[in-house]
Structures are given as C-alpha cells and as structure tokens.
Amino acid sequence: MNPIEFQDVCHTFGTGTDKTLAVDRLSFSVPQGSVFGLLGANGAGKTTSIRMMMGHLRPDAGTVRILGRDPMDQDESLRRRVAYISENMQLPHWMTIPETARFCARIYPAWKHDLVEILADRFHLSLKKRYDEFSKGQRRAMCILLALCQNADLLILDEPASGLDTIARRDFLSNMLEFVCDGERTVLFSSHILGDIERVVDSVAMMKSGRLLLSGELDELKEDVRKNLEDMFVDTIGRDNQQQ
Amino acid sequence: MNRVICLLSLRESAIWIFPLLCFLFAWVLLSTAPLRYYDPALTLFGVILGGLLAFRIFRDSPGVRPFLFSRAFSPSRLFTVRWLFGMGVLASVWLVVAILIGLGIRQSVQTSLFVNGWYPMIRFMELQCLFGFITASLLFYQGTAFFLTLYYFEGRRRFKGWTRVGRILLTVFSSLYVILGAVGLGAVLITTGFYDNFDNTLHPLTLSYGTVPTLVVVFAVPALVQTLLVPFAGRYCYKNQEIES
C-alpha cells in the first residue's frame, strides 16, 4: 500500500462561466519511505491536490487515499499519523515554542520532546519569543519544527522552505533527510525551488494546469533525458505549451 | 484532546471575558436599583458576554485555520468541544450571579453600604433577573457562534442545485431572525416601560401579567430552539467546510 494514492482525481472551483478546472484526472502514487517532490508553476494545482490529501477539500471525482484511508472521513487516528504545513500556515500569535510543543504533545502520542530544543537551536529560534515576534522565515521554521517533532508517518509540506534563508533551508532539508532515513516515513513536498527538490527527492511529479505531465523516480528520469531537473522542468512545460 | 481545545479556547477568550466578568459581578453587587425580571443593564451584560465569548472562541484568523483543522482532532470534535466550553463558561457565570443574589452577598453589600430598605424582602425575588440575563447571553452566544460558523462555511463552499435553494432559505430565515429580534427588543423596551406605570412604593418588582408570556415567546423559546439546533448545524458546517491553505 502506498501512503498517498490519487486515482483520476478532479476538482473544479467556481460555477457556471467562472468554472476553473484546478485538478484534471490526476493519478499518481507516492511510495513508502520516499521523498516525493510535487513540481509546477503557480496555478498548476499543487496546493489544491495537497488540500485534498488533508481532507480540506472534497474531490469532485476520483479517489484520494492517504495511508490507505479516505481523508474526507476526517478520522482522528489518521490525522495523528500525518504532519502538515500549508503554504500560508500560521500559529496562534501568542504561542511560544514550548507552549506550542505542549499543545501538540497532548494530541500526538509519538511527539518527540527532545527534538524541540535541538531543532530550535538549529533554526536559531528563541524559546521565549512569541510566534508574532518572529520574522517571516522564523515563523516558517517554527511550523517546520512542529511538523518534524510530531514524528508522523507521513509529512505533507506545501512550499515548506519558502521564506527561509539559504542556511535555514539547508538545515531543514538535512533534518528532513534524517527524518526519513529509517525508510518507514514518507515525505511529499511542493516547492518552486528546483535546486532544493533535486537535492533531496527520490521521485517527482510535474503538474501544469491541473494535469500531470510527468511522474517517476528522479534518477531514472534524469538518465532518460540526460538533463538536470531544472532543464527537464523547462522542457516538459515548454513541450506541453507547444502541444496546446 | 478535549482539554487542549478547551485550553486554547480559554486562552483566546480569557483576556476579553475576565475584565467583563469583574465589571459584571461588581455591578450585580453595587447596583442599588432592584434587579428586575428583564433588567436592561443585566440584559446588556448578557448580550455582550454571549456575543464576545462566541466571537473569541469561534473566530479563527485565516492562517490559523489550516493549523487547527489539520491537528489530530476531527472538525466535529473541534466544534463540539468549543461550543461546550462556551456553554460551560456561560453556565458558570449564571451560577456566580445566582450565588451573589441567592446567598445574600448582594443583600449584605446593599444593606451595609447603601442601607437599602427593600432587603430581605426582595432577596430571592431578585433571582428573577436571571431570566433576562440567561436568555440574552444564550441568544447572542448561539447566534454569534452560528453566524461565524456559517460565514466560514459559506465563504468556502460552492452552492449548486438544492444547496443553492437551501442557502437562499437560510438567508431569508436569518434576515427574518434579525428583524424579529429587533421587533422583540422593541417589545421588551415597551413592556419593561410598564414598570414606571405601577405604584412601586409597595413592591419594587411588580410585573405586568402580559410581560412574562411576551418575554418567554420572544426570547426564551428562540434561545432554547437555538441551543438545540446550533450544535447540529455547527458540526455539519465544520465537517463540510473547505479550508484554505
């Protein structure tokens, strides 16, 4: 069983003449223990797909399965096993890192207490500051810290490194690799920064206008086309533009 | 898990509710006028308390919603526990007001500070002021909770076919509710105005017989109906709403 499975999933926003097809017959699966990169330009349907994975949006057609279950069931035992960072996620403004950790520790049995201080130190986050006293990048780092300490089976991260500086981004990526090194955990993340994705992912999927253009293991794809990820991305998008 | 949601609700609401409660309890003890069946000031406290409490508990900023709605509790649990927390706070406040009046604490303050001669005759009769306080706080708590939940639900959801008809009906009923509420408030102001027409030298809490059924129909029944319906409607909205990322 793959931790994430999409089968002919469609989603439309708006009604009548304002209708926009955000996701069009999307099918892909993410293998267990892999780091999966979801690529696409703005409006490609990445965030919509991720929202459907989290049960925040109901698909119009097709099936979504997360850890073998339908996320729309909103089952609490499933939610305990999934860590999520949305594109614009914020925490309650008054929360400090220890307060947030206490909050989360009560609802996640596998919470890693010892990791809180280690990660806070690595991301240069003060334990005394409130969420609204942090800079934009530090707030993002705090969200990443929570996701990693949750010790979940599956991490779903929507543009997790946006707003982080180069060093913090590198720290985040190395922590993420540490997190999945046991081969049991799975990470899906979307990003515009292709260099980041190339450095850590095993498999990628490229989306455009809600459709899947390309999907597979990164090494195999690179071997086929003999190009780096950025060139591959530009080529794939360009070829699709020409076909249209 | 329920404790976490309660603590979060407490943290969000306490800083606003605590000063209001201090002011309310001080007013209950120090107000020299006898507390009526539908005391305007106490009713106003109820309105502010119910509305503010629901606003602080149920209003989430857009960025915090993805955080909350992706935690390990279901949306139905989130709504139910928040709603029950608010009801618990309201019930505690009603109880404290009842204790202040019923156990004679207000009487002691009134007789010692203001030499109020109506006591002990009206001590237990003043408990009738709880009617207005409870109904007002319940009405505004349920109303605000419902409208906030509906706002998030409507703002994210696409309405087609029968759901569009449902939405129109809901809008019509909501508008009617607001209009009826305004009419009801007018009715209360008129009926409470009758107090001035009575000879209050014998008893300060005389009441027109027509007032009680009017107040019950206009306020108590809608408050009760709302209290029964809002948990179901709120749970449905929480479960089916679309969360922005």
Exposed e or buried b per residue across B168-201, where buried means at least 16 C-beta atoms within 10 angstroms of its C-beta: eeeeeeeeebeeebeebeebbeebbeebeeeeee
CA distances from B199 to B117, B118, B202, B203, B207 (A): 17, 15, 7, 8, 11
Whole-number pLDDT of residue B52 = 93
Q: Point out the residue among A47, A84, A106 whose CB comes nearest to the CB of B4.
A: A106
Structure tokens given for A203: 């498999």
pLDDT, position A196: 76
pLDDT at A235 over 80: no
The predicted pLDDT at position A4 comes to 92
Contact B52, B207 (CB under 8 A): no
Residue of B233, B72, B81, B67 whose CA lies nearest to B149: B233
Interchain CB distance below 8 Å, B64 and A84: no
Helix axes of A97-105 and B2-30: crossing angle, nearest 10 degrees? 110
Residue B116's pLDDT band (cuts 50, 70, 90): confident
- Overall size of chain A counted in residues: 244
Q: Number of Cβ pairs closer than 8 Å across A and B?
A: 82
Tens of pLDDT along B220-242?
888 888 888 889 888 888 888 88
Chain A residues within 8 Å of chain B (Cβ atoms): 13-15, 47, 50-51, 54, 56-58, 74-76, 79-80, 82, 84, 86-92, 94, 103-104, 106-108, 143, 158
Q: Is the pLDDT of residue B219 over 50?
A: yes
A107 with B73: Cβ contact below 8 A: yes
- Please check the confidence at residue A213 and state whether its pLDDT lies above 60: yes
Specify the higher pLDDT residue, A131 or B180. A131
Give the span between the Cα atoms of B4 and B67, in whole angstroms.
14
Q: Which residues of B touch A54 (CB under 8 A)?
A: 70, 243
Using 50, 70 and 90 to split pLDDT, how confident is the model at A239? confident
> Which of A97-101, B83-87, B114-118 is the least confident region?
B114-118
Contact B75 A74 (CB under 8 A): yes
The SS3 call for residue A37 is strand
Q: Indicate if the pLDDT at residue B17 is higher than 70.
A: yes
> Does A79 contact B239 at a Cβ distance shorter than 8 Å?
no
What is the pTM (predicted TM-score) of this model?
0.84
Q: For residue B67, give how far its alpha carbon lies from the nearest alpha carbon of chain A (Å).
A: 6
Distance from CA of A1 to the nearest CA of B (A): 22
Over residues B73-89, mean pLDDT: 94
pLDDT score, position A5 = 92
Tell me the pLDDT tens digit for each residue of A72-130. Answer: 888 888 889 999 988 888 888 888 999 999 988 888 988 988 889 988 888 888 999 99
pLDDT surpasses 60 at B205: no
Question: Which backbone phi and psi does A161 adopt, to 5 degrees?
Answer: -95, 5
pLDDT > 70 fraction of chain B, expressed in percent and rounded: 76
- The torsion angles phi and psi of A101, rounded to 5 degrees, stand at -65, -40
pLDDT: which is higher, B203 or B245: B245
For A55-69, B83-97, B170-184, which range has the lowest pLDDT when averaged over its residues?
B170-184
From residue A118, alpha-carbon distances to A97, A239, B124 in Å are: 12, 45, 61
The rounded distance, in Å, linking the Cα atoms of B77 and B66 is: 16
Q: At B198, is the pLDDT very low, low, confident or very high (cuts 50, 70, 90)?
A: very low
Which of A63-67, B70-74, B210-214 bottoms out in mean pLDDT, i.e. has the lowest?
B210-214
Query: Which residue of chain B comes nearest to A49, CA vs CA?
Result: B245
A50's tokens: 């991720």
**8 A C-beta contact, residue A201 and residue A195:** no
- Tokens representing residue A207 in the block: 């989306």
Instruction: Mark yes or no for CB contact B245/A58 under 8 Å.
Output: no
For residue A82, the cross-strand partners are: A154
Who has greater pLDDT, A81 or B169? Answer: A81
Residues of B in contact with A76 (CB under 8 A): 1, 72-74, 77
Single-letter amino acid, residue B105: I
The answer, yes or no, to whether residue B197 has pLDDT greater than 50, is: no
- Give the pLDDT confidence score for residue B77 in this predicted structure: 93
pLDDT tens digits for range A21-30: 889 899 999 9
Closest residue of B to A60, CA-based?
B158
CA–CA distance, B92 with B22 (Å, rounded to integer): 14
Q: What is the mean pLDDT of residues A10-38?
A: 86
* Least CB–CB distance from A76: residue in B62, B67, B72: B72
The pLDDT value given to residue B181: 66
Average pLDDT over residues A189-193: 81
